[in-house]
Structure 1
Amino acid sequence: MYKTTSSLLIALVTFLIVSCRSEPETENPDATIEEKVSEHWISLFNGKNLDGWTPKIRGYNLGDNLHNTFRVEDGAIKVVYDGYDGKFNDAFGHLFYKTPFSNYRLRLQYRFTGDQIEDGSGWATKNSGVMIHCQDPKEMAKDQSFPLSIEVQMLGGITQGESRPTANLCTPGTNVVIDGKLITEHCTNSTSKTYYDEQ
């Protein structure tokens, strides 16, 4: 699940998930986590179409893919606003996968390309995310902007030299506990580096 908050095209080149479960006792206890899960990855995206994925765009019914916002091109899921005629109208969108997961690792690649749509919110420039542990889209109100969720916020750098870390924690409609402390701020920044342009 990920949200789109700007006109930027987001290319999810790979979208894989792995369940984190107890491994058989015969496994090498010294193996890295990558070695332990390498044979258990499940691809969530087939590289051809959006089979298994359902869009939910604010103001529209579940399954309505307004202006073909979510599409597959060149083996990647893309979020494109070329059909909006410059009028975004807060049409925040999310793409939900058919299978719920509760204990997993998620691996994906993404990048931002293109320019912000004319009437898009300034905070939404090069701003997207993966909404994990989120509300069932069938329970979302038609005009609801974001699902109740824990978000891995993906950001791109805007101004060279100005820090803008990615993989931040955002909590639309929720709160979290970190190290025994209740966190009520909407977003908590990570310590990642900043990625500029179309990295």
Structure 2
Amino acid sequence: MKTLFSLLLSLFSLFALAQNKNSKEEWQQLFNGKDLSGWDVKIRGYGLNENFGNTFRVEDGKMVVRYNAYDDFKQRYGHIFYKNDFSYYRVAVEYRFVGEQPKGGEGWAQRNSGIMVHGQPAATMGKDQDFPISIEVQLLGGLNKGERSTCNLCTPGTHVVYEGKLDTRHCINSTSKTYNGDQWVRAEVLVLGDSLIRHYINGEQVLEYQKPQIGGGVVSGFDPSQKPDGKLLAEGSISLQSESHPVEFRKVELLNLKGCMDPKATNFKSYYIKADNTLCTYAGRK
């Protein structure tokens, strides 16, 4: 029996070693550092891919939001959408706020941007729609006067379950610290279909909620067919915001977890990746 136990232990150790050796995280760079290939622009008051004033552009290898051509902001909220939808994933951006708002930018929008997840497709937004129906991971910079958390939750046309009950507030603050100045900050979001979403700042979890779904207001100009209230959001677009303050993104990357978290996924790969505290296993079947 002792010999058999030793043999089984040795086999288990070899198996674990093989897993660790093959472990990897294959992050996909959504922004190539050169141009806006693979992205669509939608600015309020303009048609799809009418990038008014070259608002979204690439400078020095960074995706940036600029307002040089704005004499007045006039609530021309903008979003830049990645071409594909996703359901189970980790998305991360490295961002910083710079400069000053243009004339007409609201006070609440100072040093304010966001990552929109589980959003509607860019092509379905109305010409005068202000925000995509989505879950917003709100990015805020400090104002050098008191605390101002980042990686908060805002909900244009959506609701979530927070702390065990449906929460209809538009915004819920995270537990993050305040980031003043022009420092780079890494924001990461773990999105698991219609079950769970977690926010992280510089590797620290700062917010968690469940069951993202369509509902509520704080969005205008939308096609009613795009807002079936009560529908759970299991997948959707990813977009970055232009809300009137210059912002820069030096990295936008995604780790697709669909193959190991979604039981309906096909063409699985045979390796292991660690998603949060969960060992994510690709089964290798076709």
Q: TM-score, normalised by structure 1?
A: 0.80
Q: Percent identity?
A: 56
Instruction: Report deviation, 1:53.
Output: 0.5
- State the distance in 1 between where 2:128 and 2:24 align: 39
Give 3-state SS (helix, strand or coil) of 2:19's partner.
Answer: coil
2:84 pairs with 92, 95, 99, which one? 99
1:141 pairs with 117, 126, 136, which one? 126
Q: What is the aligned partner in structure 2 of residue 66 from structure 1? A: 52
1:41-68 per-position Cα deviation (integer Å, ceiling 9, x unaligned): 1110110000001100001001110000
Task: Count how many residue pairs are aligned between Structure 1 and Structure 2.
Answer: 167
Q: What is the aligned partner in structure 2 of residue 80 from structure 1? A: 66
- State the distance in 2 between where 1:187 and 1:90 align: 20
- State the distance in 2 between where 1:96 and 1:88 align: 21
Q: What is the aligned partner in structure 2 of residue 164 from structure 1? A: 148
Q: What is the aligned partner in structure 1 of residue 165 from structure 2? A: 181
Q: What is the aligned partner in structure 1 of residue 177 from structure 2? A: 193
- State the distance in 2 between where 1:187 and 1:163 align: 16
- State the distance in 2 between where 1:54 and 1:139 align: 12
Q: Which amino acid aligns with 2:19?
A: E
Instruction: Report deviation, 1:137.
Output: 1.4
- State the distance in 1 between where 2:106 and 2:141 align: 15
For residues 190 and 138 of structure 1, do their structure 2 counterparts lie closer, same or farther at Cα, with a shift above 3 Å needed?
Answer: same
Higher helix proportion (structure 1 or 2): 2
Q: Which amino acid aligns with 1:174?
A: T
- Correspondence 1:48 to 2:34: yes
1:27 pairs with 10, 19, 22, which one? 19
For residues 133 and 80 of structure 1, do their structure 2 counterparts lie closer, same or farther at Cα, with a shift above 3 Å needed?
Answer: same
Q: Structure 1 runs of 4+ off > 2 angstroms?
A: 25-28, 35-38
1:91-127 per-position Cα deviation (integer Å, ceiling 9, x unaligned): 0000000011111001110000001112111110001
Q: Which amino acid aligns with 1:131?
A: M
Give 3-state SS (helix, strand or coil) of 2:42's partner.
Answer: strand
Instruction: Report deviation, 1:36.
Output: 4.9
For residues 81 and 36 of structure 1, do their structure 2 counterparts lie closer, same or farther at Cα, with a shift above 3 Å needed?
Answer: farther
Please, which runs of 5 or more residues in structure 1 have no aligned partner? Answer: 1-24
Higher strand proportion (structure 1 or 2): 2
For residues 159 and 56 of structure 1, do their structure 2 counterparts lie closer, same or farther at Cα, with a shift above 3 Å needed?
Answer: same
Please, which runs of 5 or more residues in structure 2 have no aligned partner? Answer: 1-15, 184-286
- State the distance in 1 between where 2:110 and 2:147 align: 14
- State the distance in 1 between where 2:119 and 2:59 align: 27
